[in-house]
Structure 1
Amino acid sequence: MTGGFRIADIESTSAPSSIAVVLQGKNRRNYGRRYDRVSIEVDISKSSYPVTAFEIHAINTPLKLIRQDDPRRPKYEKAYRPLTGVLRRNVVHGLAKVIREQYIYPELGRDIIGALETHLRNGQYEAYTNSEDFAQRLTEDIQAAGHDKHMSIDFDEPPEDEGWWNIFPSKQREMELLEELRGMNFGFDSISFNKVSVPGKPIATLPINCFVPSDELEVRIAIGEKMSSIADADALLVDLRTNHGGDPHTIAFVESYILAHAPLHLLDFVDRSGKVKDSFSTLPAGKLPAGSKLFGGSKTLFVLTTNETFSGAEDMAYNLQTFKRASAIVGEGNESTAGAAHPINTARYLCEKDFGNMWWSVAVPNLKPVHEITGTNWEGIGVKSDVIAGEGDWKGVGDAKEAATALFMKSLKPGQEL
């Protein structure tokens, strides 16, 4: 999607074994964060200099990369100015206001606000002069007080043109989004088939990296083709180990191919007054793209997770476990998934007079999932693993995919040990 990178700045070569570099994506559209920082360490004691650590994450445009005569520079200088006591207090009070007005659990929200105000009053924020560092600290504090992993505050570079999304004709916007989704393979990794472990009974592995928006027909057709490709397998491994969530409508669409009794009501999103704001169900076969083939609701299915399986990925795992569709949730060393359930459908911005428009953004959950079967969700507890690869009987099998394959083989030979 980035089209590769060019080196924009070499920040640090303080040690012969490490380097930090700022990269700029060649093909990134001109909005949001356009730069990444890469830190690399190598082992200089070996002639091949193997990489021992590699980290990459998006960053705001460094001020040094904005020319003095660039008309944007005054806005960036205002946003990047060192934090004072007044600015820190304004950010904390703005964050508290959003939590008070919006958080799905008002009583817990009051506890989170109390923790923030105590930290502020006790001087625990006085050392923070950099906004990105302060945002990270505040996020840690609100998550520590509320244990809600969807709640955060960010100091992020806004679009250069705040109305950028409206300057193109609608068709062009759709084409750009579709091109981006194609580059992501519509959220899927390569689907594979194991025809060796159990001859005559292929095992399909369906790796889903994220659940992309599926409003457009082309997206539904593409996802439908992927789901149809695994229809004839005898067992399915749904791999959610790297999945951090996405669109709940797409989750329901995907589950239409692997759950029985469609349309099947899955869950609702409910606000803090108890009002249902959105509802999710699987689709009957007649409403799926033409030519769709279903894996169906009876063949063997395993779900692979880690403790990084997050949000919408947990939604899928929770559904498949709760409706007793999954033969087992196979955790890769994890007792459960991340435990992040509460969605957010309202963006809020803070302190725009102090820093400029859209620099400080707040994510505060204002909805909660209510599942059809349990009447609750996976918030704070995650989706429990039925089998933990690398532990207990599976101590010698640390890979969840390998463990699930062995489980399928064992199911074909009841009473026999593998």
Structure 2
Amino acid sequence: MTTLTNLGPAPFPTPVIDETTRLLTEHYVFPDIAEQLATLLHRRLTEGAYDVDEAKELARLVTADLQSVNNDRHLRLRHHVDPVPSKQGAANLAAIRRDFDTSLGGAPRVELLTGEVAVLELAPMLFPLEWAAEPLSAALTLASRAQALIIDLRANRGGDPDTVAFVCSHLLDERTHLNTMYWRAGDRTEQSWSLPHVPGTRFGGTKPLYVLSSADTFSAAEELAYDLQQLGRATVVGERTRGGAHPCEGWTVHPHLEVTVPVGRAINPVSGTNWEGTGVQPDVPCAAPEALTQAHTLALAQLAG
């Protein structure tokens, strides 16, 4: 990590770009693109494109260049207002812990609508399972008594793949292969399956299930929607999601800057691909603000039928 305390005119951006390109070439899940991006960033540095006065502006410019080749939304130089710790991943972890503590553990809303249709909002993230298992289990157990369930992911920006599997486990009857992750480190794959047992009561795999999406739904939240959709378990209602299927890790490269680099990619066992770049395509497209009303109407019709 560079020890810079400001980002004035060149040469101050140089250590940030040097460290960013090193992390790219060592860790990015697509090595060939990493090489292209490293060349691009160094060329832009030489041209003076990064000679700016603020870390926030540098983050914006570098992120635009990082995403210019393959539009990978997880590939970013993130600006943090407060100084961030140097330990790998610590900057992001501290931020999401604050969100966890102020969102009822990521399940801020459980509500019963007319017709015994429950709504469970999962937001703003699918938090690490060691934190979220208890509140999610309580919320899912409460919702399990409904005749139909709507899971609202419209404001969910991602999170932990293990938490995706935990939620799916409450919505299926049998242990099911949900996803496969390819990791660049070790050139290996790792499968994700639903759990054989859950700590609460399952909603199960037969009652009507709807998932609400928006253009803000991202990353692990997209995986939850995509996994359930590909399994034929849920109907996705709303907008096409943002399209980020690459799990990433973060490194501090400046007291106020963190580079996030995707280190793996998802491979769905049904489709053989993922939602990267394309987003999750809703089964019932509509504007995000209308999605709950639409899904409730569909659920009532399905129950009546």
TM-score, structure 2 as length reference: 0.86
Distance across 2 between alignment mates of 1:94 and 1:161: 13
Q: State the partner residue of 1:68.
A: none
2:8 alignment partner in structure 1: 83
Q: Secondary structure of 2:229's partner?
A: helix
Aligned to 1:267: 179
Partner of 1:314: 222
Instruction: Provide the secondary structure at the position in 1 that maps to 2:155.
Output: coil
Amino acid at match of 2:193: S
Does 1:298 find its partner at 2:174? no
CA–CA distance in structure 2, aligned partners of residues 388 and 191 of structure 1: 24
How does 1:228-267 map onto structure 2 within 5 Å? 228-262=141-175, 264-267=176-179
Q: Which residue of 2 aligns with 1:145?
A: 69
Q: CA deviation at 1:231?
A: 1.4
Partner of 1:191: 110
Q: Do residues 366 (structure 1) and 263 (structure 2) align? A: yes
Query: Cα distance 1:316–1:160, how it changes in 2: closer, same or farther (>3 A)?
Result: closer
Cα shift at 1:251? 1.4
Q: Deviations over 1:287-320 (max 9, x none)?
A: x22xx22111011111100010000100100111
Letter in 1 for 2:220: G
Q: Name the SS of the counterpart of 1:154 in structure 2.
A: strand
Q: Distance in 1 between matches of 2:101 and 2:10?
A: 46
Q: Which amino acid aligns with 1:411?
A: Q
Amino acid at match of 2:292: K
Stretches of structure 1 lacking an aligned partner (at least 5 in a row): 1-74, 166-176, 196-200, 391-396
Provide the TM-score with structure 1 as the length reference: 0.64
1:378 aligns with 2:282: no
Are 1:112 and 1:146, in contact at CA under 8 Å, matched by a contact in 2? Answer: no
One-letter code aligned to 1:205:
V
Q: Does the C-alpha gap of structure 1 residues 310 and 123 become closer, same or farther in structure 2, counting only changes over 3 Å?
A: same
Aligned to 1:114: 39
In structure 1, what residue type is equivalent to 2:180?
D
Partner of 1:344: 248
- What's the offset of the Cα at 1:84? 2.7
Structure 1 vs Structure 2: percent identity of aligned residues?
29
- The SS at the match of 1:242 is coil
1:52-201 equivalent positions in 2, closer than 5 A: 79-80=5-6, 82-126=7-51, 128-156=52-80, 157-158=82-83, 181=100, 183-195=102-114, 201=115
- CA shift at 1:409, angstroms? 3.2
Task: Report the CA distance shift for 1:412/1:221 in structure 2 as closer, same or farther (over 3 A).
Answer: closer
Q: Which amino acid is 1:266 matched to?
A: L
Higher relative contact order structure (alpha carbons within 8 Å, sequence separation ≥ 6): 2
Please tell me whether the aligned partners of residues 302 and 330 of structure 1 are also in contact (alpha carbons under 8 angstroms). Answer: yes
CA distance in 2, matches of 1:255, 1:108: 33
Which structure's CA Rg is the greater one?
Answer: 1
Aligned residues between the structures: 293
1:21 match? none
2:236 corresponds to 1:329: yes
Gap runs ≥5 in structure 2: 91-95
C-alpha distance 142-388 of structure 1, shift in aligned 2 (>3 A): same
Give CA deviations for 1:163-220 in whole Å, capped at 9, x if unaligned. Answer: xx9xxxxxxxxxxx9998454211012211112xxxxx3111110002122226xx53
- Would the aligned equivalents of 2:247 and 2:265 in 1 still touch at CA under 8 Å? yes
* Cα displacement (A) at 1:224: 1.4
Q: Is 2:301 aligned against 1:410? A: yes
Change over 3 Å in CA distance of 1:387–1:178 after alignment to 2: closer
- Are 2:213 and 1:213 aligned? no
Query: Cα RMSD between the aligned structures?
Result: 2.7
Partner Cα distance (1:373, 1:240) in 2: 22
Instruction: Output the amino acid matched with 1:405.
Output: H
